[in-house]
């Protein structure tokens, strides 16, 4: 049995098998208090009142766990059973035979300034269930995402896109056809604003460097904020 310190998670970034272990990457919080933010009395708040409710709970950050699949009864106690040299996540056998798993942080300290990350996306078509390098998500400095983030889980670096007054939906990655490069593609997402004098828009970013390639604006209308989306070829 594997166990770890308590945490809460909504979304799994990716998972893959390597050298007899399952590597699982999750968006984690230290507790489940964030659910309190979504109670009706908090959602009815606005401005500083809403920010105060949101900032009172733990933020979400990407973490990696390594779970050994085959553990010998003769495995030594107190030693890390993970053979993965590229990860600082550990799996240590205890005196009772259970495996204590400590996670690896997959982000640089700069991500804490962005309020953490959620609603991730990877190049699922080529790297789902495989060793990978990049994921994309929403920076959550507020109750809804206010930035778009690219995280390099190998080199622990990040890129950030933000435009004041706009709130991006979950990013959607669309690869360039015929390429095997993980981040060779574009990022689509919808940016919503409560400012009735500005237009909502669909933004297209180069997934490699986060440079804007184009945007399609919608005339000023009331559009609801949405978390999830997908891309379908017709």
Burial annotation 81-118 (CB, 10 A radius, 16+ → b, else e): bbebeebebbbbbeeeeebebbbbbbbeeebeebbbbb
Residues at the binding site for Fe cation are: 11, 228
Q: Which residues are annotated as a binding site?
A: 11, 228
Closest among 153, 93, 83, 85 to 117, alpha carbons compared: 153
Strands 99-102 and 2-3, bridge-based pairing? parallel
């Amino acid at each position: 049995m594997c166990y770890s310190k308590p945490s809460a998670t909504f979304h799994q970034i990716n998972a893959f098998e390597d050298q007899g272990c399952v590597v699982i990457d999750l968006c984690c919080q230290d507790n489940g208090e964030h659910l309190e933010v979504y109670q009706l009395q908090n959602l009815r708040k606005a401005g500083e009142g809403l920010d105060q409710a949101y900032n009172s709970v733990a933020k979400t950050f990407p973490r990696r766990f390594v779970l050994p699949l085959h553990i010998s009864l003769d495995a030594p106690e107190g030693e890390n059973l993970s053979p993965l040299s590229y990860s600082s996540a550990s799996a240590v056998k205890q005196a009772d035979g259970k495996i204590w798993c400590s996670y690896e942080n997959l982000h640089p300290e700069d991500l804490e300034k962005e309020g953490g990350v959620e609603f991730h996306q990877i190049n699922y078509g080529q790297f789902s269930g495989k060793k990978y390098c990049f994921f994309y998500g929403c920076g959550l400095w507020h109750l809804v995402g206010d930035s778009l983030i690219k995280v390099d889980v190998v080199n622990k670096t990040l890129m950030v896109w933000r435009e004041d007054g706009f709130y991006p939906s979950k990013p959607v990655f669309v690869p360039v056809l015929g390429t095997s490069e993980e981040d060779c593609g574009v990022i689509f997402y919808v940016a919503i604003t409560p400012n009735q004098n500005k237009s909502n828009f669909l933004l297209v970013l180069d997934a490699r460097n986060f440079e804007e390639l184009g945007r399609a604006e919608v005339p000023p209308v009331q559009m609801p904020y949405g978390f999830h989306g997908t891309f379908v070829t017709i």
